[in-house]
Structure 1
Amino acid sequence: MCGITGWAAFRRDLDTAEAQGLLDAMTETMACRGPDERGTWRDRHVAIGHRRLAVIDLPGGKQPMRADTPDGPVVLTYSGEVYNYVELRAELDRRGHRFRTSSDTEVVLRGYLEWGDAVAERLTGMYAFALWDGRTERLVLIRDRMGVKPLYHHPTEDGVLFGSEPKAILAHPLVRKAVDLDGLRELFSGTKAHGQAVWRGMREVRPGTVVTVTADGLRERVYWRLRPTEHTDDLNTTVARIRHLLTDAVDHQLVSDVPRCVLLSGGLDSSAITGLAAARLAADGRRVRTFSVDFAGQEENFRADGTRETPDAPFVREVAALVDSEHTDIVLDQAALADPALRRATVAARDLPLGFGDLDASLYLLFAALREHSTVALSGESADEVFGGYRWFHDREARDSGTFPWLHQYGLNPGRSFLDPGLDAELALPEYVADEYSRALREVEHLDGTDADERLMRSLSHMHLTRFVRMLLDRKDRMSMAVGLEVRVPFCDHRLVEYVYNTPWSLKTFDGREKSLLREATRHVIPRSVAERRKSPYPSIQDPRYTATLQQQAKEILADRQDPVFTLVGHDWLLDRVNTDPAEVGQLERVFLERALDLHTWLDLHRPELP
């Protein structure tokens, strides 16, 4: 896994010392994503930077990687992993290509020489990369189908800037650190509008998309989207097919030249990945290494709430014992989670105050501790989106709410705003969310003859796989890459996603429960207790001392009525929250309290221009 960045300019010469200095600054912002090596390459109209986290072919995968042709060089800067690179390499070898390394990077480069940007359709994996084709003087940006790996671009007068993260682009003096009203709407709405990067002028390369930039301008080509197909398999065949696809994804994603492990929470998703990984490694006489996160005193003092019925720790122990994993618990306390330096690190990692509060903080600390032992980790992320695991999938009121069900379920109605009242009125968030929900529904294709209930469930699945999951994948990518850890997500294998997406809802819930197909497909590698456990989200700290610490930090902000954060956050709202008994602050209120602290930190870090 790596960090990539660069600059294409068709009306200026970039083969200069000044351009090199700017490229160096952009590249160094990606140092956390690639702590092992750095490299740059320039030509007249392009400058490309790379920071490397070495995972496959440690000595041979240096970048930017160049292939010389009679008509000019083709240069690649690449982030991610292509899991079918061995098969593609064999095919390219048969077509006459000769390889200098054993890296997947060179397979992508040679694949482009053979198939052009249609190479994207042949890749299975998570990736974001840029190719400069000196034969035609064009820049090609390609992002994986599910959006596991990030990629941003910012048009300029005569070309484009690009980077794995906004910070790489923001390091260039041509870019103003500005956020307009549409950016703020995206920041506060929780809808994940397609391509919206919040920073003015900046865009995300949309998943499953090729962006081509030439002297004539920029164009996009979608090479993959979720499409409906008829599902003809019966239940047993469906379960067997899912078991095969998931097992194959895990097998491929265990390939690494550096230590790897599995993130284990004791839920169905992570336990399934752990069981399959353990079985694969045991066949070679090896043990799987697992890590989990917990909070000091959480198990002993656990309180069931609306989303979490049981603590994770007992289930983690059962899974670890069953598969005989080499297991480590990372136990965190409230003081570590509330450390302002940690908040600053998580906000800096994301470039935006888009955080999930203590969920971001604990994930960052988990990954930092894990990185001392492993460079690659497998995660159960995205199973809920693929298999319909969230409780709101099974709640008629949430499904029929006429908005994104996660907003309905969590009570994140834009009308209940913690924002400054004047800003809240100007943003008109309810209307914005309603427009985005209508747009999300229009994007879904349906088979003829599908009944209303099936159409609704397909629509909900589609918006989770194209919007909600991308918020979670972005969070996981930023928190992991901030400490130089590569996290792989087998449930995002596009072959599995396509197959399950087109499975009727009646089959997905054949036993009347959530994630019925996943439970049945992996029952052979998980404890019965985990198979029967209800959905439990990523753990959140329940210690009221944590809330009290947040309130104290907010009081320090309130001491200055002129603090810039009050251009965004309602002063009276924050004052009321800090004067509430910590034990009485609900989960949603604490989320908003953390968002206010994130906004304060973000404004201090970036000092953006605001409308």
Structure 2
Amino acid sequence: MCGIAGQCDFRGDLERDRARVQPMVDTMACRGPDDQGLWTSRHAALGHRRLAIIDVPGGRQPMTVEENGETLATIVYSGEVYNFTELRAELQGRGHTFRTDSDTEVVLHGYLEWGEDVVDRLNGMFAFALWDARREELFLIRDRMGVKPLYYYPTPDGVLFGSEPKAILAHPSAPAVLDTDGLRELLAHVKTPGHGIYKGMREVRPGSLVRVNRDGLTVRRYWKLEALEHTDDRDTTVAHVRELLDDIVARQLISDVPLCTLLSGGLDSSAVTALAAQKLAAAGAGPVRSFAVGFVGYEENFSADPMRDTPDGPYVRELAEHVGANHTDITLSNDELMDPDARAAVLRARDLPVSIGDMDTSLYLLFKAIRGRSTVALSGESADEVFGGYRWFHDAAAVNADTFPWMAVPGRSPLDESGSLFDPGLLQKLDLPGYRDASYRDALAEVPHVDGVSAQERRMREVCYLHLTRFVQILLDRKDRMSMASGLEVRVPFCDHRLVQYVFNTPWALKTFDGREKSLLRAAARDVLPASIVQRVKSPYPSTQDPGYERMLRDELAKLLVAEDSPVLPLINRDAARALTEQEVGSRSLESARAKIENVLQLDAWLRRYQPTLDIAG
């Protein structure tokens, strides 16, 4: 797991221009605290910051293959390929020799053997840049589900690229400009595949390959969800899901550094932790280490809300005891959640004001605490998108709404136009409802269908596709940024493309065969979990309920409103913001109101730090 950055330029001489590329690499220090490297040729510069996971002494990058003193290809790579041992054996059988035990070298030799089609053979989460010196071509390649990020910025003579926008923005050819569509993308709470938000910047779409050569830049989708007829019966389907999960977890436990799991006491993280414990015990490598996050007084004062029926704590403890985990709770206070350094770190990690408040800050602080004891963590992220776990999957009004289902749940969007803290004239100019609708139509047009199914099955296929290609990207990006800001690698077993493709084509009636959410996962993992967790209703990532936290937020907003140098002031409705600061804080904060405040505060901090040019037409 690492950070990459670099440039391809067919007119200049990058061997003489290292000083412009090195700052790009330096911005990735948080993603790779263990080592760094920069390789240059006349037309390509590839930089790397390393978080050492596999083959700690031998896996240095950039990595190059030479023949007769001539460079054939060079790679900078971020992520993990979980089937690299099998690929290595196959490549050795074809005559390749290896200097290291790293998966990076396997990917590089795989390219030399199979060309760009090597990507079809990789199982993992990855983003890499590969320079083919023989053809003078650069390839930018991202994993199928987009677990690892990769951005690029076309230039007149080539391209800039990086794991995060900050790497590209560190180059003088890429100014931080936010145009109308960028601001729409930022405020509309949609995730358009390929949209980089900053003007001129693009994100490599999940399952895509970008080729750059003297003829220009081309993009190819090498993988996407397909519509296939599902012929397995219930028992066979459940058995196959379990078979896949056993294989996935076993593969993702491979690490040369300390490893743990993230545990919330929900079905998803508990299944991963229990299966990991089982595999480690069988290998004589247990117990599994696990970590959970909580807040001071949260469990004692918990009050059920529309999204959460129960606190996580009792279920976390029960699962940890059930599997014999070496468990640690990370308990956070309001002061820690509001700590300026922590909130600034979240902004630096995101590069954009897209924070979801305490849920981002707490995740960053959790990962920071874990990093002191482990370098790799397995997460239950994405199971809800794969198996249909969110409550709105089972809400007829949300499912049948003519928009993204998560946008149809009342109070879900902090930037909903009703009660918004943004300037009404700005909102009218941006037309966020129209932007969301266009994004939704584009997403629907992509959905692959099978013939001969009911209207409900057809609609649920659309709902699942929207989550697997749009909603999950929001959460994966958050998980990657918060973890890598701490130098922690987080693996996501439920994003294995084999599992995603198989379950996507499983009929909705089979996904909910017991009348509940995530029926297939519950059935597949039932034997390794306590009954209470098998039956627990979905509860999302926790958010503090302490009214003191909102008071602190309102105090910060009140200070902002009287500071005439606040750059966000021209963009907001000051009267609405002032009225919100004067409202009485109830015993339980409304997340939608809190989120509005969080967004204004983060936007102000982003405008101060990044000083972007706002190029808003109209």
Q: Which residue of 1 aligns with 2:591?
A: 587
Q: Deviation digits for residues 133-175 of structure 1, max 9, x if unmatched?
A: 0000010000000000000000011000000000000000001
Instruction: Determine the structure 1 residue equivalent to 2:216.
Output: 217
Structure 1 counterpart of 2:610, one-letter code: H
Q: Who is 2:481 aligned against?
A: 478
Please give the residue correspondences for 1:111-122 in structure 2 after superposition, counting only pairs within 5 Å.
111-122=110-121
The equivalent of 1:390 in structure 2 is 390
Alpha-carbon contact 2:546-2:589 (below 8 Å) kept: no
- How big is the shift at 1:593? 0.7
CA contact (8 A) 1:420 1:566 kept: no
Q: How does 1:134-145 map to 2 (within 5 A)?
A: 134-145=133-144
SS of alignment partner, residue 294 of structure 2: strand
In the TM superposition, structure 1's runs of 4+ consecutive aligned residues that sit over 3 Å from their partners are 69-72
Query: What are the residue-to-residue correspondences of 1:394-473 with 2, within 5 Å?
Result: 394-411=394-411, 412=413, 414-416=416-418, 417-473=420-476
What is the CA-CA distance between 1:265 and the residue it aligns to? 0.3
1:570 partner amino acid: N
Partner amino acid for 2:23?
A: A
Q: Is the 8 A contact 2:8 2:158 kept in 1?
A: yes
8 Å Cα contact 1:414/1:430 also seen in 2 = no
> Please, which runs of 5 or more residues in structure 1 have no aligned partner?
none
Q: CA deviation at 1:350?
A: 0.6
Displacement after TM superposition at 1:561 (Å): 4.1
1:309 aligns with 2:309: yes
Tell me by how many angstroms 1:438 deviates: 0.9
Give the Cα–Cα distance (whole angstroms) in 2 for the partners of residues 284 and 381 of structure 1.
Answer: 25
Q: 1:532 pairs with 532, 535, 538, which one?
A: 535
SS in 1 for 2:212: strand
| Match in the other structure for 1:545 | 548
- Counterpart of 2:444, as a letter, is L
For residues 61-100 of structure 1, the C-alpha deviation after alignment (integer angstroms, 9 at most, x for no partner) is 0000000146743000000000000011011111110011
Match of residue 53, structure 1, among 38, 48, 51? 51
Per-residue deviation, 1:562? 5.0
Asked if the contact 1:272–1:525 (Cα under 8 Å) also holds between the matched residues in 2, the reply is yes
Superposed displacement of residue 572, structure 1: 1.7
In 2, the alpha carbon distance for the partners of 1:314 and 1:414 equals 35
1:166 corresponds to which residue?
165
**Equivalences for 1:136-285 in 2 at 5 Å?**
136-285=135-284
Deviation, 1:2, is: 0.2
For the residue of structure 2 that corresponds to 1:34, the secondary structure is coil
Tell me how far apart the structure 2 counterparts of residues 69 and 176 of structure 1 sit (CA, whole Å). Answer: 39
In the alignment, which residue of structure 1 is the partner of 2:129?
130
Once residues 410 and 151 of structure 2 are traced to their aligned partners in structure 1, the CA distance between those partners, rounded to angstroms, is 29
Q: How big is each residue's C-alpha offset from its partner over 1:418-451, in whole Å with a ceiling of 9 and x where there is no partner?
A: 3111110110000111111111111101112222
**CA distance in 1: counterparts of 2:175 and 2:389, whole angstroms:** 41
Residue type of the alignment partner of 1:371: R
Q: Is the 8 A contact 1:89 1:107 kept in 2?
A: yes
CA offsets per residue over residues 266-316 of structure 1, 9 Å max, x none?
000000000000000011222100000010111110000001000100000
Corresponding residue for residue 78 of structure 2: 79
Unaligned stretches of 5+ residues in structure 2: none
- Looking at structure 2, the residues matched to 24 and 257 of structure 1 have their Cα atoms a distance apart, in angstroms, of 29
The secondary structure found in structure 1 opposite 2:177 is coil
- Which residue identity lines up with residue 336 of structure 1 in the other structure? E
Contact 2:423 2:572 in 1 (8 A): yes
8 Å CA contact retained: 1:82, 1:126:
yes
CA spacing shift, 1:307–1:479, aligned 2, 3 Å: same
Partner SS for 2:300:
coil
2:106 aligned residue: 107
2:15 corresponds to:
15
Provide Cα deviations, 1:218-257, integer angstroms capped at 9, x if missing partner. 0011000001100000000000000010111110000000
* 1:381 partner amino acid: E
Aligned partners of 1:173, 1:562: CA distance in 2, in Å?
27
Secondary structure of the corresponding residue to residue 41 of structure 1: strand
Quote the sequence identity (%).
58
Q: Which whole-Å CA distance do the structure 2 matches of 1:93 and 1:486 have between them? A: 29
Verify: 1:493 aligned to 2:496, yes or no: yes
- The CA distance in 1 between the partners of 2:410 and 2:333, in whole Å, is 26
Partner of 2:600: 596
Rounded Cα–Cα distance in structure 2 between residues aligned with 1:161 and 1:308: 43
Conserved in 1, the CA contact under 8 Å of 2:227 and 2:448?
yes
1:502 has 2:508 as partner: no
Aligned partner of residue 14 in structure 2, secondary structure: coil
Amino acid at match of 1:375: T
TM-score, with length taken from structure 2: 0.97
Question: Does structure 1 retain, via aligned residues, the 8 Å contact 2:177–2:198?
Answer: yes
Matched position secondary structure for 1:582: coil
1:68 corresponding residue in structure 2 = 66
Q: Residue 579 of structure 2 aligns to which amino acid in structure 1?
A: D
Aligned residue identity for 1:97: H
Matched AA of 2:573: G
1:356 aligns with 356
Measured after TM superposition, the shift of residue 568 of structure 1 is 2.5
Structure 2 counterpart of 1:333 = 333
C-alpha displacement of 1:336? 0.6
- Cα deviation digits, residues 8-27 of structure 1 (max 9, x gap): 000111111xx211111110
Matched-pair contact (CA < 8 Å) for 2:545–2:589: no
Shift of 1:340: 2.1
Give a deviation string over 1:385-408, Cα, whole Å, max 9, x none: 000000000000001111111111
Conserved 8 A contact 2:561-2:569: no
Whole-Å Cα distance in 1 between the matches of residues 353 and 245 of structure 2? 34
Structure 1 distance, partners of 2:547, 2:539, is 21
Residue deviations 1:299-338, cap 9 Å, x none?
A: 1100000010001000000000000000000000111101
Q: Distance in 2 between matches of 1:46 and 1:571?
A: 49
Instruction: State the number of aligned residues.
Output: 609
The aligned residue for residue 291 of structure 2 is 291
Q: Distance in 2 between matches of 1:573 and 1:446?
A: 45
**CA deviation profile, 1:449-493 (whole Å, cap 9, x unmatched):** 222111100001001000100000000000000010000000000
Counterpart among 518, 521, 525 of residue 518 in structure 1: 521
Tell me the equivalent position of 1:555: 558
Change beyond 3 A, Cα 1:452–1:230 = same
RMSD across aligned positions (CA):
1.0
The residue type paired with residue 590 of structure 1 is R
Q: Give, in whole Å, the separation in 1 of the partners of 2:93 and 2:574.
A: 67
CA distance in 2, matches of 1:304, 1:446: 39
Deviation at 1:580, TM superposition (A): 1.2
Return the alpha-carbon distance in structure 2 between the equivalents of residues 577 and 340 of structure 1.
Answer: 22
- Structure 1 residue matching 2:575: 3-state secondary structure: helix
1:54 maps to amino acid: A
State whether structure 2 residue 574 is matched by structure 1 residue 575. Answer: no
Match of 2:300 in 1: 300
Conserved 8 A contact 1:278-1:288? yes
